[in-house]
Structure 1
Amino acid sequence: MSRDEQLDLLDELWKSLGRDPDALPLSDAQRIELDRRLDELESEGPVGLTWDEVVAHARGR
């Protein structure tokens, strides 16, 4: 199987996992952490740098 065929297969597998939320079961600890992160995102909004800020910072070095 060629590299491109392998990547296509991997992409299809990845997409299929996303279609079924139960395909990747979460532990209670993982579910609690995801809920915490979602709550934080909803209350504070996204945290981080824009792409333009990243590029400007990288070019400033």
Structure 2
Amino acid sequence: MNARVEALIEQARGMTSEERVAALDALQELVAPPDQAWGEAWARESEERLDAYLRGDIEGEDFDVVMERMRQEFLVK
């Protein structure tokens, strides 16, 4: 790592979690700018899923139950 990157990392150590996330988001956009078409497609998909849920066509799952299942399945033991 060069000195500028090391200085940036040192600054990040002093940030709150929220500030770190905001900094990472900004850096990610520099590396790979968001794809507008993808964002629009995901917005349509999420609206369709919500509409299907509200109509009763699909069922939801409790967040805590899903997270526990993901922890059991994917976290290294």
* TM-score of Structure 1 vs Structure 2, range by shorter chain: 0.3 to 0.5
Task: Give TM-score scaled by structure 1 length.
Answer: 0.36
Task: Give TM-score scaled by structure 2 length.
Answer: 0.32
